[in-house]
Amino acid sequence: MKEKYFWVDVLRVFAIAAVVIVHVSADIITEWSAVPRSCWWIANFYDSLARGAVPLFVMVRGALLLPKAESYRDFFVKRFQRIVIPFIVWTVFYLLWQKYFYEPQMGLAEALRRAANGEVHFHLWFLYLITGLYLITPLLRILTMQGTRRDLFYFLGLCFFVASLVPCLERMDALFFHTGIRFKIPIEMAQGFIGYFLLGFVLLRESKPSWAARSGITWLAAFLVCFLGSGLIALRFNQFPALFYDNAAPNVALYAASFFIIAKEASPWIEAHLNAGTKGLVLSLSSASFGIYLIHPVFIDIFNHGRLGLVLNATIGHSAWSIPVTSIVIYVCSFLAVLGIQKIPLLKKTV
């Protein structure tokens, strides 16, 4: 699988690096009125470049899981090892972290309530999302195995309309037009990230090298919509409404789809021009990507509060250098921590 789908490793490495940049940039992006304009615009630039990270993770999982034929037992045993164990361990870890550093009064009942409601830590929502997608994967496989090409594209179009286009139009109406018009037809099965999950499978099967150039143009347009659109709205309303930052926004959907195609079609050329050491590093970073996602907020917290005697975050200097430097340090620390955890037999299944 690793040899056949090197582009998957490329996407994973990019996506987790983008997640770190997004979380580091948040200290600037969310403070429109409190930071210098040049710092905000640079942070907006970095964050716009990192859009689509979570959708790409979901698309990669859809591309890898939906083509497989497995029994229910085999599927859920594998997923238990890959998701449920990290889910439990990291939920407990972040609850203990919160209790030790911030809320010593938090008791067991409150901890259980937060775990049940998905309120443990800001990034663990992704585990709830993936768990839900895994639970419906056996049913989606019926669609991918027996559905026609028209069936798949119809459902993708429905997902885009319901989960992406309509919410964006409603938010634009709330910002600019105030008509109060809302789309009230419930189509629950097309909500959330299910469209991205299926899109990964469809693009795995349908995309071809000739799509790469057009995908590059689409990616650039999606980036500019996010970068310029977010800036212009912030200027207009003197605040930052994350209209174009939302994971389901149409520009983010186009960003993720076009970047997926670019990586898939360009990776054979990239792989052919990498030496063995560089390729090995990409594979190592890819295998650690899930663990990096889980652990990187620990290092964000450590450096934010100077727990190691050094304060490092996006606000310590101009964002042109503070964001990339902080992101690189957090990424490297997280990667090294995951490598260490992977060598401990009792803990390696947690990352």
Q: What angle do CA 60, 65, 70 make, to 5 degrees?
A: 170
Helix locations, the chain, DSSP H: 6-29, 37-49, 53-65, 72-79, 85-101, 108-117, 125-146, 149-159, 166-172, 194-206, 212-237, 250-272, 276-287, 289-304, 319-342
Structure confidence at residue 5 as a pLDDT band (50, 70, 90): confident
Q: How far is CA 299 from the centre of its chain?
A: 18
Buried b (16+ CB within 10 A) or exposed e, 229-243: bbbebbeeeeebbeb
- Judge whether 242 lies within some domain: yes
Tell me the longest C-alpha to C-alpha distance in the chain: 59
pLDDT of 3 reads: 41
pLDDT of 20 > 60? The answer is yes
Q: Which residue has the tokens 């972290």?
A: 97
Q: How many domains does the chain have?
A: 1
**What crossing angle do the helices spanning 85-101 and 108-117 adopt, rounded to 10°?**
130
Q: Which domain holds residue 318?
A: 6-350
What is the average pLDDT score of the chain?
95
- Judge whether 195 lies within some domain: yes
Q: Is residue 187 a contact partner of residue 158, using CB atoms and an 8 Å limit?
A: yes
Spatial distance between the Cα atoms of 265 and 203, rounded to a whole number of angstroms: 11
Spatial distance between the Cα atoms of 271 and 4, rounded to a whole number of angstroms: 11
The tens digit of pLDDT for each residue in 256-302 reads 999 999 999 999 899 999 999 999 999 999 999 999 999 999 999 99
The tens digit of pLDDT for each residue in 52-98 reads 999 999 999 999 999 999 999 999 999 888 999 999 999 999 999 99
Spatial distance between the Cα atoms of 48 and 26, rounded to a whole number of angstroms: 12
- Judge whether 32 lies within some domain: yes
- Judge whether 264 lies within some domain: yes
pLDDT of 291 reads: 97
- Judge whether 244 lies within some domain: yes
- Judge whether 1 lies within some domain: no
pLDDT of 4 reads: 65
Per-position DSSP letters for 277-336, written without gaps between them: HHHHHHHHHHHTHHHHHHHHHHHHHHHHTTTTS---STTSS-HHHHHHHHHHHHHHHHHH
pLDDT of 342 > 90? The answer is yes
